[in-house]
A and B are shown apart, each in its own frame.
Chain A
Amino acid sequence: MAICGPKCSLCGIIISVWGIIQLTLMGVFYYIGAVALAEDIPHVEFNGDIKELNQFYAKMDSGFQQNALNCWIAALLYLITLAFSAHQFWANNRSSLSV
């Protein structure tokens, strides 16, 4: 049973593959605490007090971990999308062949 057309499913496959690769990698980079991605974690305020430095670091770390998880969640969702699109693509191909 084909819900979306051949082009739509192909588009879904491409974006899913791209999303899985990129988001998994980004998850890894967040997990190891890449500085380049630090700008994109939810905002953590540092008031400049040296005593709260550890607290700041802890917040940053948890932000990194959370983003890593979020990336992997999104990657997982794309895995599902990929499976769905691939099935659609297959269904479309089969229906077009049978005609």
Chain B
Amino acid sequence: MLMSKPLSFGHGPQQTLKCVEVHKIVKMGSLFRSAEMTLCQLFLQSEAAYACVSELGELGLVQFRDLNPDVNAFQRKFVNEVRRCDEMERKLRYLEKEIKKDGIPMLDTGENPEAPQPREMIDLEATFEKLENELREVNQNAEALKRNFLELTELKQILRKTQVFFDEAVAGGNVCHQAELSAYGGSQMADPSREEEQVTLLGEEGLRAGGQALKLGFVAGVILRERIPAFERMLWRACRGNVFLRQAEIETPLEDPSSGDQVYKSVFIIFFQGDQLKTRVKKICEGFRATLYPCPEAPADRREMAMGVMTRIEDLNTVLGQTQDHRHRVLVAAAKNIKNWFVKVRKIKAIYHTLNLFNLDVTQKCLIAECWVPVLDLENIQLALRRGTERSGSSVPPILNKMDTPEDPPTYNHTNKFTSAFQTLIDSYGIASYREMNPAPYTIITFPFLFAVMFGDLGHGCLMALFGAWMVINEKPLAAKKSDNEIWNIFFGGRYIILLMGLFSMYTGFIYNDIFSKSLNLFGPSWRIFNISNADLKSKTVFELDARADQNYLGTSYPIGMDPAWQLATNKIIFQNSFKMKISIILGIIHMLFGVVMSLFNHLYFKNRLSILTEFIPQIIFLTFLFLYMVLLMFIKWFVYFANISDDDIVYGTRCAPSILITFINMVLQKATPYEPKCKTSNMFAGQIGLQYLLFYIAMICVPWMLLAKPVLIMRKRKQAHAYSVTHQQMASATENGDAQQTGGGTGGHGEGHDEEPLGEIFIHQAIHTIEYVLGSVSHTASYLRLWALSLAHAQLSEVLWNMVLSKGLKVEGWPGGIALYVIFAFWASLTVSILVLMEGLSAFLHTLRLHWVEFQSKFYMGAGYMFQPFSFEVILDSASQSKEEP
């Protein structure tokens, strides 16, 4: 091959042309098997390594292997660079968070800037550093300002509210004193002109009487509204009821500067007497996180203070506005570039992360990488490497060298947007082994088809197809939206599957002649009601249409699909069951036979002649002779027996048509099938019994053939090889010296131990395999009956929905019927979508998936491979943006 020697980049033109041709041809067939992979060694000049890896990342076709798995993450060569990238990413995330907080739209042009040169990293770092610092400073200032603003607003509120308290206190105090005085019964107290004087007099009196300063002190503050009740109780208890608390709610919510939440607060004022109480009250206030504000006692001071607070608040507001403007400007400028920066930083990080996987050459001048690459894309990879070298300005080209390895290469299927969904269905069961037959291309047809057999309804299929078609037509705008709704993403990912399922369901619905459970009469039914007597009309509600009477059955069947006359028949279900069951078995057997044939291609490709002889041939004989024969019987029954046959030919009438299932069971049990005497025989054709014996015995021979042939052949081969090696060794020991003999024996032993499993295990594996296949043939065949069962369930459910819902609207008499129909139709439509299309669709989808995974793939698919995960910027950026949106 071309790549077996270290590659130079100067291919002759002819060689290149040939390569391109090969490339195209094999790429066409690449969905049938995974791409051919090879392990390559890549030597990169230290200075060119960054640019080359960057180009490879854009290409996304190379999977690097970790060459220093035992070196921990902190001891690798480029750990510093990775850390710097992490730091930059953190800053960007901070910026992004701030931008989101302000609701500034981030410009996403979808452009994909190349990974910047390593030296640009410093510029980027400087930019981010500056931005972050600026933003932090602005934020700190804003917070301080806001705190200040909050304090001032609270103070303003306190001054306003306490004014009310003081006013009340003055008025209330007067009333109180008046009451006291009248209790004394003093007659002169009635004179209102002396009131002021008496208050002060009494106060002095009281002061003298108490022997200490009866001066009421007070504190005023603000507290969270929900804390008020507890606060009040605490004060009462701690001060034994000796304090007086007044509170008023602040109506407008205030903004908490640290969290930005809107909180409701209350103003309170506490009157008390004495210093001890004062300290106690202050402590309680502290405990409840109330903010206390100085509040002058004199009304004039208070007024003055209020004025001062008002002007300060106004000043603060202008400053705050300017700060906000500044912050906004900074963020808007950052929002323009942030996506771009993210891409750049993530790319740099990915490149250094990849470089960390490489080995350093002894001379430190060159990095050595090992990577899996698709053989077909070697040309592209070389081109990318050359671009990288040119970009870095290095003179020495990188060297790509193919390596031999005993390891299994990863599985890589070239997919496009159409096939990738089907490939995902297969991959979710198990990644194909390397170069194994890939079931995905066949699934493109069989999956929607088997789905449609279960989902056959023209109307429902049409709804599904329209939905799929809408997603396919608007593919680009919808994909650009990048929704993070998981369910929508599932639907959108499977849009081509949905479209195909819908189209196929329309076809099967047409064949079943079901559109929302009603039938279409396109070609005119083949059945007529004829010659009914007057007495019949009176006595019967059900009339039997005998196919034997020419007037009832026209003799030619409905051109395509189910005759619409069956919709009105009472035995519709019985008739359809027989038809649909047969169809399911026929489809199932064909599907399974196809699977077994696929195993032949696997064996041929891997040159496994032994498996063809001991597995494929008995398997296909077993399946054909028993089950395909049953399918043939069905066709014979369809072609030989008729309902509209005269009494003379009753042997070929419906009465004498044997049951396929009974015939098949009796074929296996070796029993005679009972029949009515007038039918003369239970056979469908001459020599049936003899043929059945033959088929059955040959099929039975296949079981021990499958079970024993392979292990026995392997055992014999090993014995021969062993005998050969023994004689060989004896000869060698006779002719050569001990050293040579030892090395020969050593390598022989190594080879045997490497690829041979013990015979006992081979026997057990083969036994399991055989039992699985033989029993599986029976159970899988029965399993395909789900096609019939779900199809029946779907048809019945849609009929029930029509009769129970829409029919009720149609049966309303007269004009109101139109309005009733309007309402009920909407109800029926939503039920149709939710139950019949969504739920039934999901159930049919899952059953189809099972039929493919278990019944079909178990015949040939190993699924023991592992996925090719190339180093690709696209994948890395996608997953990064996904994980970012999740939390």
The chain A residues found within 8 Å of chain B, CB to CB, are 15, 18-19, 22-23, 34-37, 39-43, 46-50, 66-67, 69-74, 77-78
The answer to whether B821 touches A48, judged by C-beta atoms less than 8 angstroms apart, is no
Q: How close is A44's CB to chain B, nearest CB, in angstroms?
A: 11
Partner of A70, one of B521, B568, B817: B817
A66 to B812, CA, bound (A): 10
Q: How close is A22's CB to chain B, nearest CB, in angstroms?
A: 8
Q: How close is A53's CB to chain B, nearest CB, in angstroms?
A: 8
The answer to whether B826 touches A19, judged by C-beta atoms less than 8 angstroms apart, is yes
A22 to B813, CA, bound (A): 20
Specify which chain A residues have a CB less than 8 angstroms from the CB of B567 in the assembled complex.
36
Partner of A73, one of B521, B810, B819: B819
Show 26 residue pairs from A and B whose CB-CB distance is below 8 angstroms, ordered by the A residue.
A15-B830, A19-B822, A23-B825, A34-B521, A36-B521, A39-B803, A40-B806, A40-B807, A41-B810, A42-B811, A42-B813, A46-B537, A48-B537, A48-B539, A49-B538, A66-B813, A69-B815, A70-B812, A70-B815, A70-B817, A71-B821, A73-B817, A73-B818, A74-B818, A74-B822, A77-B819
The answer to whether B811 touches A77, judged by C-beta atoms less than 8 angstroms apart, is no
Q: B179-209: contact bitstring with A at CB < 8 Å (1 yes, 0 no)?
A: 0000000000000000000000000000000
Q: How close is A93's CB to chain B, nearest CB, in angstroms?
A: 14
The answer to whether A36 touches B518, judged by C-beta atoms less than 8 angstroms apart, is yes
Q: How close is B828's CB to chain A, nearest CB, in angstroms?
A: 10
Specify which chain B residues have a CB less than 8 angstroms from the CB of A66 in the assembled complex.
813-814, 817
Specify which chain A residues have a CB less than 8 angstroms from the CB of B534 in the assembled complex.
48, 50
Specify which chain A residues have a CB less than 8 angstroms from the CB of B803 in the assembled complex.
39
Known A42-B812, A48-B538; further 10 A-B contacts with Cβ < 8 A: A36-B518, A36-B568, A37-B810, A40-B806, A41-B810, A50-B537, A66-B814, A66-B817, A74-B819, A74-B825
The answer to whether A73 touches B821, judged by C-beta atoms less than 8 angstroms apart, is yes
Q: B796-817: contact bitstring with A at CB < 8 Å (1 yes, 0 no)?
A: 0000000100110011111101
The answer to whether A35 touches B568, judged by C-beta atoms less than 8 angstroms apart, is yes
Q: From B518, B815, B822, name the one whose CB has the most chain A CB atoms within 10 angstroms.
A: B822
The answer to whether A36 touches B829, judged by C-beta atoms less than 8 angstroms apart, is no
Known A35-B568, A41-B811, A43-B811: A70·B821 in contact at CB below 8 Å: yes
Q: How close is B796's CB to chain A, nearest CB, in angstroms?
A: 16
- Closest residue on chain B to residue A42 by CB atoms: B813
The answer to whether A67 touches B538, judged by C-beta atoms less than 8 angstroms apart, is no
Partner of A36, one of B564, B807, B813: B564
Q: How close is A56's CB to chain B, nearest CB, in angstroms?
A: 10
Partner of B829, one of A15, A50, A72: A15
A49 to B661, CA, bound (A): 47
Q: Per DSSP, are chain A's interface residues mostly helix, strand or loop, or mixed?
A: helix
- Closest residue on chain B to residue A29 by CB atoms: B518
- Closest residue on chain B to residue A67 by CB atoms: B810
A48 to B812, CA, bound (A): 25
The answer to whether B807 touches A67, judged by C-beta atoms less than 8 angstroms apart, is no
Q: How close is A87's CB to chain B, nearest CB, in angstroms?
A: 18
A40 to B820, CA, bound (A): 14
A70 to B521, CA, bound (A): 22
Q: How close is B760's CB to chain A, nearest CB, in angstroms?
A: 64
- Closest residue on chain B to residue A16 by CB atoms: B826
The answer to whether B822 touches A77, judged by C-beta atoms less than 8 angstroms apart, is yes
Any A CB within 8 A of the CB of B519: yes
The answer to whether B826 touches A15, judged by C-beta atoms less than 8 angstroms apart, is yes
Specify which chain A residues have a CB less than 8 angstroms from the CB of B814 in the assembled complex.
66
The answer to whether B817 touches A67, judged by C-beta atoms less than 8 angstroms apart, is yes
Q: B510-525: contact bitstring with A at CB < 8 Å (1 yes, 0 no)?
A: 0000000011110000
Q: How close is B104's CB to chain A, nearest CB, in angstroms?
A: 14
Partner of B815, one of A22, A36, A37, A73: A73
The answer to whether B521 touches A35, judged by C-beta atoms less than 8 angstroms apart, is yes
- Closest residue on chain B to residue A18 by CB atoms: B829
Q: How close is A7's CB to chain B, nearest CB, in angstroms?
A: 13
The answer to whether B811 touches A36, judged by C-beta atoms less than 8 angstroms apart, is no
Partner of A74, one of B519, B568, B821: B821
A46 to B810, CA, bound (A): 20
Q: B822-839: contact bitstring with A at CB < 8 Å (1 yes, 0 no)?
A: 100110011000000000
Specify which chain A residues have a CB less than 8 angstroms from the CB of B568 in the assembled complex.
35-36
The answer to whether A77 touches B826, judged by C-beta atoms less than 8 angstroms apart, is no
Q: How close is B413's CB to chain A, nearest CB, in angstroms?
A: 37
The answer to whether A70 touches B818, judged by C-beta atoms less than 8 angstroms apart, is yes
Q: B674-699: contact bitstring with A at CB < 8 Å (1 yes, 0 no)?
A: 00000000000000000000000000
- Closest residue on chain B to residue A51 by CB atoms: B534
The answer to whether A19 touches B518, judged by C-beta atoms less than 8 angstroms apart, is no
- Closest residue on chain A to residue B540 by CB atoms: A48
The answer to whether B822 touches A78, judged by C-beta atoms less than 8 angstroms apart, is yes
Q: How close is B649's CB to chain A, nearest CB, in angstroms?
A: 33
Q: How close is B113's CB to chain A, nearest CB, in angstroms?
A: 29
Partner of A77, one of B538, B813, B815, B818: B818
The answer to whether A40 touches B817, judged by C-beta atoms less than 8 angstroms apart, is no
A42 to B537, CA, bound (A): 21
The answer to whether B518 touches A69, judged by C-beta atoms less than 8 angstroms apart, is no
A41 to B830, CA, bound (A): 23
Q: How close is B421's CB to chain A, nearest CB, in angstroms?
A: 24
A67 to B519, CA, bound (A): 18
A48 to B534, CA, bound (A): 8
A41 to B538, CA, bound (A): 22
Q: Which 4 A-B pairs have the closest CB atoms?
A: A73-B818, A48-B538, A70-B817, A74-B821
A49 to B534, CA, bound (A): 8
Specify which chain B residues have a CB less than 8 angstroms from the CB of A37 in the assembled complex.
518, 810
Specify which chain A residues have a CB less than 8 angstroms from the CB of B813 in the assembled complex.
42, 66
Q: How close is B875's CB to chain A, nearest CB, in angstroms?
A: 33
Give chain B interface residues in 526-555, CB to chain A under 8 Å.
534, 537-539
Specify which chain B residues have a CB less than 8 angstroms from the CB of A19 in the assembled complex.
822, 825-826, 829
Specify which chain A residues have a CB less than 8 angstroms from the CB of B564 in the assembled complex.
36
Q: How close is A34's CB to chain B, nearest CB, in angstroms?
A: 7
- Closest residue on chain B to residue A49 by CB atoms: B538
Q: How close is B478's CB to chain A, nearest CB, in angstroms?
A: 14
Specify which chain B residues have a CB less than 8 angstroms from the CB of A15 in the assembled complex.
826, 829-830
Specify which chain A residues have a CB less than 8 angstroms from the CB of B815 in the assembled complex.
69-70, 73
Specify which chain A residues have a CB less than 8 angstroms from the CB of B519 in the assembled complex.
36
Specify which chain A residues have a CB less than 8 angstroms from the CB of B518 in the assembled complex.
36-37
A15 to B831, CA, bound (A): 12
Partner of A40, one of B537, B539, B810, B829: B810
Specify which chain A residues have a CB less than 8 angstroms from the CB of B538 in the assembled complex.
47-49
Q: How close is A66's CB to chain B, nearest CB, in angstroms?
A: 7
A48 to B715, CA, bound (A): 83
Specify which chain B residues have a CB less than 8 angstroms from the CB of A73 in the assembled complex.
815, 817-819, 821-822
- Closest residue on chain B to residue A43 by CB atoms: B811
Specify which chain B residues have a CB less than 8 angstroms from the CB of A78 in the assembled complex.
822, 825
Q: How close is A49's CB to chain B, nearest CB, in angstroms?
A: 8
- Closest residue on chain A to residue B568 by CB atoms: A35
Specify which chain A residues have a CB less than 8 angstroms from the CB of B830 in the assembled complex.
15
A66 to B819, CA, bound (A): 13
A34 to B810, CA, bound (A): 14
The answer to whether B811 touches A40, judged by C-beta atoms less than 8 angstroms apart, is yes
Q: B565-605: contact bitstring with A at CB < 8 Å (1 yes, 0 no)?
A: 00110000000000000000000000000000000000000
- Closest residue on chain B to residue A47 by CB atoms: B538
- Closest residue on chain A to residue B826 by CB atoms: A15
Specify which chain B residues have a CB less than 8 angstroms from the CB of A77 in the assembled complex.
818-819, 822
Q: How close is B61's CB to chain A, nearest CB, in angstroms?
A: 42
A46 to B452, CA, bound (A): 41
Specify which chain A residues have a CB less than 8 angstroms from the CB of B539 in the assembled complex.
48
Specify which chain A residues have a CB less than 8 angstroms from the CB of B829 in the assembled complex.
15, 18-19
Specify which chain B residues have a CB less than 8 angstroms from the CB of A46 in the assembled complex.
537
Q: From A15, A41, A67, A70, name the one whose CB has the most chain B CB atoms within 10 angstroms.
A: A70
Specify which chain B residues have a CB less than 8 angstroms from the CB of A22 in the assembled complex.
825
Specify which chain B residues have a CB less than 8 angstroms from the CB of A34 in the assembled complex.
521
Specify which chain B residues have a CB less than 8 angstroms from the CB of A23 in the assembled complex.
821, 825
Specify which chain A residues have a CB less than 8 angstroms from the CB of B812 in the assembled complex.
42, 70
- Closest residue on chain A to residue B519 by CB atoms: A36
- Closest residue on chain A to residue B814 by CB atoms: A66
